[in-house]
Chain A
Amino acid sequence: DVVLTQTPPTLSATIGQSVSISCRSSQSLLHSNGNTYLHWLLQRPGQSPQLLIYLVSRLESGVPNRFSGSGSGTDFTLKISGVEAEDLGVYYCVQGTHAPYTFGAGTKLELK
């Protein structure tokens, strides 16, 4: 199975600070059809996960544009340009290029 390694496990930030989360895959996530099925989710405390970014860099409708995604192959990054209080929670990357679908272990974003 594909292993997604997220770093750091925990991220402490102040409001307004820009932060990045890394997601590294044990295999290339470039599918033979040319797509890279790597997405990002946020799970706020006590809530269900919600979709933020899909296909590496596409912003889900309604998600603020302070969120951005980048990367290719095995290395991917989620960036938040100016953390706001509502951004706190656990961020997960998920891949769908290889069966079975797998998630990263999560990165917890907390206030410093």
Chain B
Amino acid sequence: EVQLVESGGGLVQPGRSLKLSCAASGFTFSNYYMAWVRQAPKKGLEWVATISTSGSRTYYPDSVKGRFTISRDNAKSSLYLQMNSLKSEDTATYYCARLSTEARALFDYWGQGVMVTVSS
């Protein structure tokens, strides 16, 4: 059974940093692109970052480019999101998601999410 378990969320002041982790199990982690998707309170979904199987390629939307860094450790089946220079608009539930090999933007498994609150 595929499982994605996020951790590392919490309350952080604007301008500070936070690192999220996602522990994956139930599949060969190194064979899949992985992603982070966030959801602001009572809002819709927003793609945040994608990483290739080896970690050599990463992709971000303009809203987080230069502030967020996605990375992975295939030996540990773990995905990470380093978030720097946090803003109040980064407040959201952050989901770790697996990207299917069948199609682009095909998020086929999701974690339960971790809440990040950016506030002074």
Contact = CB atoms under 8 A, between A and B. Distances in A.
Secondary structure of the A contact surface, majority rule: loop
Interface string A30-67: 01000101010100000011110011000010000000
A101 B105 contact: yes
Interface stretch (B11-19, B23-31, B40-48, B76-84): B40-48
Nearest to A33: B104
A103 B103 contact: no
Contact of B105 (A49, A60, A96, A106): A96
B44 A100 contact: no
Contacts, number: 66
A66 B93 CA distance: 30
A83 interface: no
Contact of B103 (A55, A100, A106): A55
A59 to B, nearest CB: 13
Interface residues of A, number: 26
A100 B112 contact: no
Contacts of A105: 44
Which among A39, A49, A101, A106 has the highest number of chain B CB atoms within 10 Å? Answer: A101
A50 B110 contact: yes
A54 B59 contact: no
A22 to B, nearest CB: 16
B104 A48 contact: no
B107 A49 contact: yes
11 contacts: A39-B103, A50-B110, A51-B108, A54-B102, A54-B103, A55-B102, A100-B60, A100-B62, A103-B46, A104-B44, A106-B44
